[in-house]
């Protein structure tokens, strides 16, 4: 991955913003957090017209998908950052994954101290899967771009 000072600053800034969003959401009390996902649920349910039990399931899915999505973004940014530092292929997966898992543990630890919130080992696993998905997106995309670039270079030389 091409490393420039501007790209490093951009990636680091986006990484800090992503962590601020993740941990900021953890600082939200249970009532406000539930209200946020409840608004999303109500919007989706306006189209689906689910039963009460279906709406409860949807609410749970929305909350877990929010965890997954936030951490997928974190995994993407961590992989980009480690890629620009010249990490080897194996480390390019392991280091972002370990950092993402650490961020997930901090995220759940924060919730211990917030009213109406609590830590969940399941959320740590969901977060870690999100990080892994973000890593996979970057690595697959990078592999595809490199392969296409090599193919174009071969066509130009022939």
Structure confidence at residue 158 (pLDDT): 61
Place of tokens 């649920």: 41
Structure confidence at residue 3 (pLDDT): 85
Residue 157, SS3 per DSSP: helix
Threshold 0.85, pTM exceeds: yes
DSSP 48-99: H---HHHHHHHHHHHHHHHHHHHHHHHHHHHHHHHHHTT--HHHHHHHHHHH
pLDDT, tens digit only, all 158 positions of the chain: 788 999 999 999 999 999 999 999 999 998 888 888 888 888 888 888 888 888 888 888 888 999 999 999 999 999 999 999 886 777 888 999 999 999 999 999 999 999 989 899 999 999 999 999 999 999 999 889 888 877 787 777 66
Q: Computed over its alpha carbons, how large is the radius of gyration of the chain?
A: 19
Two structure tokens written together for 29: 């009390």
């Amino acid at each position: 991955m091409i490393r420039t000072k501007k790209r490093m600053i951009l990636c680091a800034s986006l990484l800090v913003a992503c962590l601020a969003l993740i941990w900021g959401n953890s600082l939200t009390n249970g009532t406000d957090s539930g209200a946020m996902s409840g608004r999303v649920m109500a919007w989706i349910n306006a189209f689906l017209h689910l039963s009460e039990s279906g709406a409860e399931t949807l609410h749970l899915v929305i909350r877990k998908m929010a965890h997954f999505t936030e951490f997928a973004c974190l995994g993407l940014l961590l992989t980009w950052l480690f890629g620009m530092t010249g990490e080897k292929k194996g480390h390019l997966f392991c280091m972002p994954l370990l950092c993402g898992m650490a961020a997930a543990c901090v995220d759940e630890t924060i919730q211990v101290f917030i009213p109406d919130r609590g830590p969940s080992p399941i959320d740590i696993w969901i977060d870690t899967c999100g990080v892994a998905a973000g890593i996979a997106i970057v690595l697959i995309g990078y592999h595809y771009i490199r392969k296409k670039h090599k193919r174009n270079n071969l066509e130009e030389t022939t």
